[in-house]
Structure 1
Amino acid sequence: MQGVVDVLSSGETSGSAVGKRVVLPRSFPRGDRDMQRRFLNAMALVQRFGRPDYFITMTCNPYWDEITENLEPGQLPQDRPDLVARIFRAKLRDMLDLFVKKNYFGEVQAYAHVTEFQKRGLPHEHILLIMKSSSKLTTLDEYDKVICAEIPDKAKYPELHLLVIKHML
């Protein structure tokens, strides 16, 4: 309140002239300038290598064994954001290695990814993969080998059906 009184007593009536402007450096993580730099870098990848071939989302499961085994009795995953973030990061590194180094979908020419936190506090990742021309999907059969948007048959795959119903719907 004292700050408001001081400004009014000095004769200043415009709110835009009050205070001191602070510009965060581009190196400040998650700041506006950092986010703009990251966006421009991603667009430069697209300009140079072409459109992404895969858009992959990875979501943290708070009931992964690595998380639940390291909780103290009575603790919930939301009580240990450090543990959840560390395990998510380790699994993310493994998944990126699978895609980029082990060529799970084929040879990757370029990739970009970003970590976001959901309202519940759990991290999730968005990954864009730009494949080399020899690894690009070109026919419907190739797409069908990679992409599936159906609930697994309950009679054939009961465990997979249960997991999809529990985590995806």
Structure 2
Amino acid sequence: MDYYAYLLAPRAEFSRFKRFGKLRCQFIHDAYMKTEANRLNYIKLNQPQLRAELYSGLMDHLDNRAQKEGITAGIPVILPSSFMGSPRNMQERYQDAMSLVRKFDKPDIFLTMTGNPQCPEIKDLDGCLIEYRPDLVAKTFSLDVKEVIKDLIQNKIFGNIIAYAGVPKKRIFHICIYLQC
């Protein structure tokens, strides 16, 4: 991941990746898929260290289902909740958000941010079309989200915030804010 980040980092001097267009997008996609495959392979090979043997109830369920359907079960790989996007990760995030609703009731503010590919920070691309720079759009949007959260928490533009929960999706960011009364 660090190697690909180094290759794709913006530089003042000539960059061979800067003007490749669709080929650059394909390279970024392939790099992401390799990185994700390495993460999944690490999880697969390190199941004992991840304490996957503790899920005995799940294993019994899988064995019973395999016997009922007359199939042989393969070697199960359990994704930890720390793996972003896994069902357990999503369930954990959902439970965290619902605990805020249980404790503080409805949120006071529901804020939605969307990414703007025409913003001035990414307008100047040295002749490269914006469609071929999804990494730059995502990075700019991520920095904008961090700036808004900083304004909300540190600068207290809405007042004193006691809790918040954010949900990032591609170029959309939803945040629920609970204010102190």
Could you tell me the TM-score, scaled by structure 1's length? Answer: 0.62
| 1:129 equivalent in structure 2 | 177
Say yes or no: does 1:108 pair with 2:161: yes
- Alignment of 1:81 with 2:134, yes or no, is yes
**Structure-2 residue corresponding to 1:94:** 147
Question: Aligned equivalents of 2:153 and 2:135: distance in 1?
Answer: 27
1:21 aligns with 2:69: no
| Letter in structure 1 aligned against 2:116 | N
**Equivalence map 1:1-169=2 (5 Å):** 17-69=72-124, 71-73=125-127, 75-117=128-170, 123-133=171-181
Amino acid at match of 1:20: I
Instruction: Tell me, in whole angstroms, the C-alpha distance in 2 between the residues paired with 1:38 and 1:46.
Output: 13
Change (3 A) 1:22 1:63: same
What amino acid sits opposite 1:35 in the alignment?
A: M
Partners of 2:82 and 2:103 in 1: CA distance: 24
Structure 2 CA distance, aligned partners of 1:15 and 1:51?
48
> Looking at CA atoms only, which structure, 1 or 2, has the larger radius of gyration?
1
Indicate the percent of aligned positions where both proteins have the same amino acid: 38
Structure 1 outlier segments of 4+, above 6 Å = none
Aligned residues: 114
1:25, distance to aligned residue in structure 2 (A): 0.7
Q: State the alpha-carbon separation in 2 of the partners of residues 65 and 54 from structure 1.
A: 28
Q: Which residue identity is paired with 1:93?
A: K
- What is the TM-score normalised by the length of structure 2? 0.58
- Partner SS state of residue 17, structure 1: coil
> By how many angstroms is 1:22 displaced?
2.1
The alpha-carbon distance between structure 1 residues 56 and 15, as it changes in their structure 2 partners (threshold 3 A), is farther
Q: Which runs of 5+ in 1 are unaligned?
A: 1-13, 118-122, 134-169
CA RMSD in angstroms comes to 1.9
| Counterpart Cα distance in 2 of 1:107 and 1:34 | 29
What is the alpha-carbon distance in structure 2 between the residues aligned to residue 30 and residue 96 of structure 1? 22
| Alpha-carbon distance in 2 for matches of 1:91, 1:15 | 53
| Cα distance per residue 1:10-47 (max 9 Å; x no partner) | xxxx5853543322011101111011111111111222
Question: Counting helix residues as a fraction of each chain, which structure ranks higher?
Answer: 2
